[in-house]
Structure 1
Amino acid sequence: MCTARCIVIDMRWDSVVDYLNHILEPNILQNDIKNMKCESELMSCLLSNHRITKFLSLWLSKLYNERETRKERKNLDTSIYYKSKGNKAFKIKDYNTSVKLYTKSAIYAPSGSIDLSLAIANRSASLFYLERWQDCIKDIELAIKLGYPEKSRGKLYLRIIECYLKLNKTILAARIISQLNNSSQYDMTNEQRERLQKMNEIKLQSRNTIDGINDVNSTCDIENVTESPSQPKLKRLKSGENPNFRSASASIEVKYTPEKGRYVVANRNIKKGETLFIEDAFSFVVVNNNKYNTLCHNCCKNYLDIPIPCTECVDTLFCNMNCWDKACLSHHRWICPASQMGLLRQVGITHLALKLLCVCTTTTNNERFNDVQQLVTNFNKLAPADIISYGITATMLTLYLSKYTDFFKDINLKECLVSKFSNNEFNIKCDLATDDDKQLYVSSLLLRHILQLICNGHAITKINVTPNDDENKLLIEEQTRVATAIYPSASMMNHSCDPNIINSFLDQTLIVKAIKDIKEGEEVLHCYGVEFRRMSKVDRQESLESQYCFTCNCKACTMPEYENFMKRFTAMKCPECSGPLLLCDDHDPPMFCSDCGATVFELTYIYKVKQAQVYAKNYLRDAECYMQLGNLEQAVVELKNCLSLRKRVLYKYHEDIITTLDLMANLCVRMDQRLPAIYHLEHTIVAIEERYGSCSIELCNELNKITDICISYLKTESNTASKFYKNVLKKTRRYLNDAQQILDIVYGPWHETYNEIETKIAVLFNILQNFNV
């Protein structure tokens, strides 16, 4: 073990797996796997290998012993440091910064220390001065629950009274005033006593309403009167929920064939935009290292800048105490030590497998439990080397649960797992008479969950919008994975690189909508990876084969018209029909037109195109120089020359033409020439729809951009009788409706851009009052 002890020093988990794969005699085990029928057979081999279990135990022990020296850990000095910085920001009235710093102080406050409640109480003061009354109330409630010194609570109660007064909740304020009047246990300054005396007028004003509450316990039960912020409401499934298909619309159903397995079909005609699934995640994990991530680890709601931290680990944050309590009962009590050890950040998606096991153990919803257990694993399809690696991970997680948590002491496996299976075909065949048997059962379930997540995990995504460096209001949007989740019902859909549905998320809830009309009997298809508009066929096929173990035969992968779709947008112009002229391979002529089939062999034509591109880039460079110098008129001249050359030699939807048009529109806006800007963007809209589709967020962004300019033109143009003005009125209404429909399908009406569109629709409505359009 001395050699192993030396090897394990500073070894990351992926290196551990590589090392153990090396000492396992992988060729022999890989051959054995081919004859194995279930997860428990592999796990029995791994758990009985003492070299494996000893090495894993040593590695876990090293992580555990070093948890107190990790940079990301509970630390009183760190907590005090951030509290001190928060105090400085508070004194100079930089309350937004002080909120962030007090939050960090709370996150690093050690378990059992008073510093956690002090940090939350300090944060409530910052929130008060930011006029975030409800958030202030929430933090005061939390500080008291976390043990804020009872003698000092008087100032907190005064602050909560003032919050209620600001919110015009006089009765609630009067109730707490009454409680304070009947209590002498709180230390209060003379100034605070004077404030309370003035507040007694509120009590007198509301006396009839609050009679009889003076006998309430002197510790204010403010939790019962705190109102929760309203959440967006989901529309009901139009056809109702299918009683035989949980979380799914009655307009779809699951079918089965030996060739396809389970799949989803429409049992009636479905219209574009119709909702097909509304499904809560059975389990999910938040991506901790995401800079945009401010999501509760229990419900996935946004906690903004005022999370409630776990008292034991620094990685886990919640939006309220209720979520904290639910998480601890469901899973976090067994996962928290792994977070403290820095284990979870190393194991990737298997973090979710561990949480999934815990949730399966504690859930009372046996139907959804069984839906999860029946998800495919591809145990006999994945590469044996990958299966072994996942099995090693399941072994390590089982040893972790056994050595560093009370999981096996807390849980009766027969009652909490075995008895929940409604179909013994999916239960692990294992006796539970001994501790070794219990570990084998749990490790087998862990391996199953890891394999299920490989082919059934869903990425919960959000769109992050950031302004670019240009002074004009143009936005850059990127889609970011913020969590990984398991949705057993939606996982029944098969794949297509040209799907007819799209996923969106509200917190942890998955909403699936049709993006095309789907005929009765037609299959409902989801894209597992990247669709044909965004990735080449070769790359798509390789990705799907690697992760999902199948070769895709969808239309986008088999029909000739899809073959060179992405190349069209970097193509030259066909001299015969102006269609996209493509190279037969990636380097050398001849070239062919994918529209008319014409073939071009002449090198001279290709040379002319390349020369034109060089000149166009020179014009573009000059235009950018003129813009920096503030000579916008000359910049327009250079851009027009650039656009003219590019239109002469490039396919009409070439990305360089779209970029040039967008830049010209931007420049026109800066010069208050809105009609030309609208004209240029109308051309980009057509090209972007061709490239990304009619339900793409890229198209929505362009529609949002052009309607900004249209509304500005309509509000400032004096000649409202002109045909140009009336034409823009009509276009604006159409563009806004199109953008709203895309947002409703792709995100839902709770998305912030949807509110922006609705505001513009209201402005347009007022303008239209004077026109018969």
Structure 2
Amino acid sequence: MLIYREEKRRALNSYLGHVYDWKSTALFVMERLKLLVPDELKQAIAGSTCETLSVTCAALLEFLRPLPEFKEVISELTDLEIALCRKNESRALDLKLQGNECFSKGDFKQAISFYSQALRYAPLNIECKGLNLVATLYINRASSMHKLGLLEECFRDCNRAIAIKPNYAKAWYRRGKVNESLQKYKDAICDLEVGLSTETTTSSKKSINQDLEILRMRVPSASMVKPSDDGVEVKDAVASDVSILCVASPTKGRGMASPSDIQPATLIHTEDPLAAIVSKPCRGTHCHFCFNRVPIDSVFCPSCVIPIYCSENCLVQSTGEISCSNSSYSLSRCNLSQDVFNHVADVISDNGIRCKGVPEHKHECGGAHWTAVLPTDVVLAGRIVAKEMEKKRLSGVSSNLIDSLDLLHHYELVPPNERLELHIYAIVLCYCMDSYYKLDFQSTEVNVTQSVLLLCLIKINSMAIVHISSTDSQDSILSPSINVKTSCVEQVRVGQAIYSTGSLFNHSCKPNVNSYFLSRTLFVRTTELVPSWTPLELSYGPQVGGMDIVERQRLLKEQYMFKCECSGCSSLNFSDLVINSFSCQNSRCNGVVLENITLKILEDNSVQALVGASLVSILLLPASGSDKSIEEVAHKLFQKFKIGSCINPGCCLNCNAKLDLDSVNANLSEATLNMTRLADSLDRALDCLAKIKSMRHQHSKTVAQAEDSIAEIFAKNGDLEHAIEHCKMSIQILEKLYHPNHIAIGHELIKLASLQLSICHVASASDTIKRVEAIFSLYYGAHAAKLFPYVNTLRQQILDYLTSCRISP
């Protein structure tokens, strides 16, 4: 066997606990198949082109198909008789018992965790002691959440249990108690009346009757329904007077542009994905359809144990099924009034949830675990194939998959040593898809060839779905006179998707549009005035100010297979020189010293950057005097040198003084390491900062990070004045690397505003927040309030403070 069955089951259980090493298993499968391929065929595949791809795919398919080892691999991944991701009644019952033990001990949080895991494994139509197991688990989890005051979550679980078993008295009773807590007394009475009519034990009937009498006494003097305090959904529509078109350019091929000028902060495009998949590190924490964080009352696929969803709506969109299937609405009407009977009908209805399109998970379901093992790109390719198969079923017309997507694949740019892996994954994917579609999708050379190109297309065109996560924490050092929270904003890569139009936006290291995501929907917004027919370009990750040109070029070449020739890479930037540079040891010189980079002087006032023997890029120097900041740190570049002469690593670009890079690097590493260990020793941390600043250039990113670390140390020690001082120093450096209105500056200003407000520097905090709001509005428009709720919290804190002091804002 590829992996022994019990070992694989343990691996799966570990995966469901979010520690499954999927990558090593996928690599194990890949390496085993690679070893079987003869050298002659490997060489043919390494040298294949788009024209010969069908030949190499056919040859590899013909070689692998009869091999017992290959059949074993496919069987392990797809055979539903031995599937490891099927529902498991005994596992669900074991977890239910563990949840019951935690509940009896008062450990309700842990009980919820066990009940949720039991729901993951529980088959939908299994009876346990005369009750549906899934319905029982929902009510057990609801009871635990009720104990913790999680009323909305408890309410939803009660509805799920009722949808499965409408005559479940305990579910109606628990729902009634939740409605009572929510001050929805009329609904609570109806719920308890249903619970009373369906209850079979005398003692429970007596208890429900007592609760009903108390509630009926309350109704005349109490509000029937508690007013909702839900906020109004933020609306932000694409500008009606702006059109964007796909156009061609000589250097970048297809891209997006507009025939009219576009103002800053204009929303120019929104789009839902053609296909999307949650990233593997987020499989246990984020919804597998909308990619938002799952609540504590998450729901699971009815047919397998892999996906997790935040709601029934997302589950239906992903699987085409609902988790709570009411098969028999059999409540007797004899004990219920018409009003109460209508109330029951409303509760058990499915609220009109319908699948809007092709279910993304349906073809992966049934228990087969190939989606848990294979790389994300491969699984995403399967979802695209599934959508094309559905189109074919509805229209009856078969089309070329790659042509129908109308996106580039660039197979010819794939490194030769990676082509065999693409071939094998394509064949494995075809067999996995064939296990679901049977004769409709067979593992033929045509489908394998299309799958190879599809995997290349995904590598080039897919977009990472990034969500902004704000971690708010109460800091004990803050002034007791005002309640302020500090916030850490981070970007989390929660998914990967293909957007038909979004993929056509080209990259620039100096982008003029910003892309962001709400749930799985892509939004594109301009961040500056864009003249008509100017390319609309976003960043694929690397940006001027965030990375130097060497790192940007390397990353884009490896990930997207192109050499960047954007405006940020075609002319010399100040940040490219200083971001990772050392300072000249001559105290009278402000020059930069580059490490591992040789600058070679070329014709036409240009310079070539080389790392070792590898050419990285050609930087076109600005005309002398056009950028004073560059001349101040690299005056030597503007002198007339002999063509072909070089400036070697370790030489100052102003005075040509030599720097001992080995010695400086050793001292720098020691100082940086020590700073991270000295949170409780300000004096020693400041010594480390001084050493770092004496070695790195004053505008390098290392100095900015060191200043930020010192600010954090001061804040933790209660010295907020000095924390603010060093926070400002860090921001000033970042403003030189990026620009003052860059989104990276906005994130740092949030931190500064929190510090200012915590020691009642209200006027300064108000100015900082205004600047934050201006930056965030530029990048996110009206969505900024939803993406960064902490900014509104800070603004409200300022207003509250001014009100308490009776000061006009």
Using structure 2 for the length normalisation, give the TM-score. Answer: 0.72
Contact 1:158 1:196 in 2 (8 A): no
Structure 1 Cα separation of the partners of residues 687 and 494 of structure 2: 44
Is contact 2:468-2:491 (8 Å) kept? yes
- Counterpart CA distance in 1 for 2:659 and 2:431 is 69
Aligned ranges 1:543-622 → 2 under 5 Å: 543-561=555-573, 564-565=576-577, 567-568=579-580, 570-572=582-584, 575-576=587-588, 578-582=590-594, 585=597, 594-597=633-636, 599-602=654-657
Picking from 349, 369, 390, the partner of 1:362 is 390
Structure 1 residues 66-465: aligned runs within 5 Å:
68=82, 70=84, 74-110=87-123, 112-114=125-127, 115-146=133-164, 148=165, 153-180=168-195, 183=197, 185-199=198-212, 202=215, 232-239=233-240, 250-257=242-249, 260-290=252-282, 293-329=284-320, 330-337=359-366, 340-362=368-390, 373-383=405-415, 386-402=418-434, 404-405=435-436, 407-408=437-438, 439=444, 442-464=447-469
Query: Quick one: which amino acid aligns to residue 748 of structure 2?
Result: E
Q: Percent identity?
A: 19
> How many angstroms does 1:680 deviate by?
2.8
Q: Given the superposition, is the C-alpha separation of residues 117 and 535 from structure 1 closer, same or farther in structure 2, using an over 3 Å criterion?
A: same
Distance 2:670 2:63 in 1: 68
CA deviation after TM superposition for structure 1 residue 753, in Å? 7.1
Q: Is the alpha carbon distance of 1:69 and 1:441 closer, same or farther for their aligned partners in structure 2, counting shifts above 3 Å?
A: closer
Number of residues of Structure 1 aligned to a counterpart in Structure 2: 678
Match of 1:677 among 694, 706, 723: 723
**CA apart distance, 1:236:** 0.9
Per-residue CA deviation, residues 337-367 of structure 1 (Å, 9 max, x unaligned), is 4x63345422331100101211333368999
1:295 partner SS: coil
Cα distance in 1 between the residues matched to 2:232 and 2:387: 25
Q: Which moved more, 1:438-447 or 1:83-92?
A: 438-447
Q: Find the residue that maps to 1:560 and give its secondary structure.
A: coil
Contact in 2 for aligned 1:174/1:206 (Cα 8 Å): no
Q: In structure 2, what is the Cα distance between the partners aligned to 1:521 and 1:26?
A: 46
Letter of the 2:319 partner, please give it: C
Spell out, residue by residue over 1:187-219, the C-alpha distance to the aligned partner (whole angstroms, 9 max, x if none).
Answer: 345245332453256568879xxxxxxxxxxxx
Contact 1:281 1:486 in 2 (8 A): yes
The Cα of 1:375 is off from its aligned counterpart by 1.5
2:537 counterpart residue number: 525
TM-score by length of 1: 0.75
Answer yes or no: is 1:57 the counterpart of 2:91: no
How far apart, CA to CA, are the structure 1 residues paired with 2:550 and 2:81? 45
Kept in 2: contact 1:79–1:108 (CA 8 A): yes
Write the distance in 2 (CA, Å) between the matches of 1:20 and 1:460. Answer: 37
Judge conservation of contact 1:67–1:340 (CA < 8 Å) in 2: no
CA distance in 2, matches of 1:570, 1:102: 56
CA distance in 1, matches of 2:693, 2:506: 41
SS of 1:142's partner is: helix
Q: Secondary structure at the match of 2:373?
A: coil
In 2, Cα distance between equivalents of 1:611 and 1:58:
52
Deviation at 1:179, TM superposition (A): 3.9
**8 Å CA contact 1:154, 1:188 repeated in 2:** no
Following the alignment from structure 1 to structure 2, what is the Cα–Cα distance between the partners of residues 455 and 52?
A: 33
User: 1:679 is aligned with what amino acid?
Assistant: E
2:362, 2:229 → 1: CA distance? 26
Q: Are 1:757 and 2:757 matched, yes or no?
A: no
1:487–1:283 CA distance, 2 compared to 1 (3 A)? same
Contact map agreement 2:578 2:592 (CA 8 A) in 1: no
**What's 2:515 paired with?**
503
| Contact 1:500–1:524 (8 Å) recurs in 2 | yes
- The amino acid of 1:711's aligned partner reads L
Counterpart residue identity of residue 59, structure 1 = V
Distance change (3 Å), C-alpha of 1:67 and 1:710: farther
Range with greater deviation from structure 2 (661-670 or 269-278): 661-670
CA contact (8 A) 2:30 2:421 kept: no
Secondary structure in structure 2 of the residue aligned to 1:349: helix
CA contact (8 A) 1:557 1:563 kept: no
Q: Considering only aligned residues, what root-mean-square deviation do their CA atoms show, in Å? A: 4.5
| Structure 2 runs not aligned, ≥5 long | 3-24, 128-132, 221-227, 321-358, 478-484, 600-630, 637-652
Distance 1:312 1:604, change over 3 A: closer
**What are the Cα deviations for residues 537-559 of structure 1, in whole angstroms up to 9, with x where unaligned?**
34433443344332221233332
1:28 equivalent in alignment to 2:44: yes
- Conserved? CA contact 2:291–2:520, under 8 Å: yes
2:29 is matched with 13
Which range is displaced more, 599-608 or 316-325?
599-608
Shift of 1:14: 1.8
Please tell me whether residue 708 in structure 1 is matched to residue 754 in structure 2.
yes
Would the aligned equivalents of 2:402 and 2:454 in 1 still touch at CA under 8 Å?
Answer: no
1:723 — aligned with what? Answer: none
- Alpha-carbon distance in 2 for matches of 1:100, 1:284: 28
The 3 A distance-change label for structure 1 pair 69 and 578 is same
Matches of 1:349 and 1:142 in 2, distance apart? 34
Report how far residue 487 of structure 1 moved.
Answer: 1.0
Distance 1:696 1:237 in 2: 22
Please say which of residues 275-284 and 318-327 is displaced more in the overlay. Answer: 318-327
Q: Would the alpha carbon gap of residues 660 and 583 (structure 1) be closer, same or farther in structure 2, given more than 3 Å must change? A: closer
Question: What displacement does 1:459 show?
Answer: 0.9
Q: What CA distance in whole angstroms lies between the structure 1 residues aligned with 2:490 and 2:390?
A: 37
Measure how far apart 1:332 and its partner are.
2.6
> Shift of residue 612 of structure 1?
9.4
Q: CA–CA distance in 1 between the matches of 2:689 and 2:411?
A: 55
Asked whether the equivalents of residues 517 and 523 of structure 2 are also in contact (C-alpha less than 8 Å), the reply is yes
Deviation at 1:95, TM superposition (A): 2.1
For 1:611 and 1:545, how far apart are their aligned partners in 2?
31
SS at match of 1:263: strand
Counterpart-to-counterpart distance in 1, 2:491 and 2:581? 22
- Between stretches 371-380 and 560-569, larger displacement belongs to 560-569
Counterparts in 2 of 1:706 and 1:327: CA distance versus 1, 3 Å = closer
Deviations 1:45-82 (A, max 9, x none): 55555646865433211345697585x66444432333
Q: Which residue of 1 aligns with 2:640?
A: none
